[in-house]
Amino acid sequence: MNAAQRKELKVTLVKSLSGQLANIAASARGLGLRRINQTVDVADTPENRGMIGTAAHLLKVERAGSAS
C-alpha cells in the first residue's frame, strides 16, 4: 500500500503535557509528540484513535494532506 492509499491523520500538540495524568501523557508520547506545536502524521488506526481520544483536550487533529 502506498502513501496515497494509506489514511493518515495530522496530530499537533497544542497544550503542555505537564501536570497531566500519566496515561494521558503516555498516549501523547505514544503518538510521537514531545513538544508543544510539534506535528506528526500517524496512521488512522483504532489504536491511534484511542490514544487521540485520551488526549483530545491537548491535541489538534486534521486529515493528513488537507490544504490548510
One digit per residue, the tens of pLDDT, for the chain of length 68 reads: 555 567 999 999 999 999 999 999 999 999 999 999 999 999 999 999 999 999 999 999 999 876 55
Q: What is the pLDDT of residue 6?
A: 77
Q: Are 39 and 62 in contact (CB under 8 A)?
A: no
Q: What is the pLDDT of residue 61?
A: 97
Length of the chain: 68
Spell out the residues 6+ positions from residue 66 whose beta carbon is closer than 8 angstroms to its own: 10
Q: What is the pLDDT of residue 4?
A: 55
- CATH architecture of structural domain 8-63: 2-Layer Sandwich (3.30)
User: Which residues of 2-65 form beta strands (DSSP E)?
Assistant: 8-13, 39-43, 59-63
Domains of the chain, residue spans: 8-63
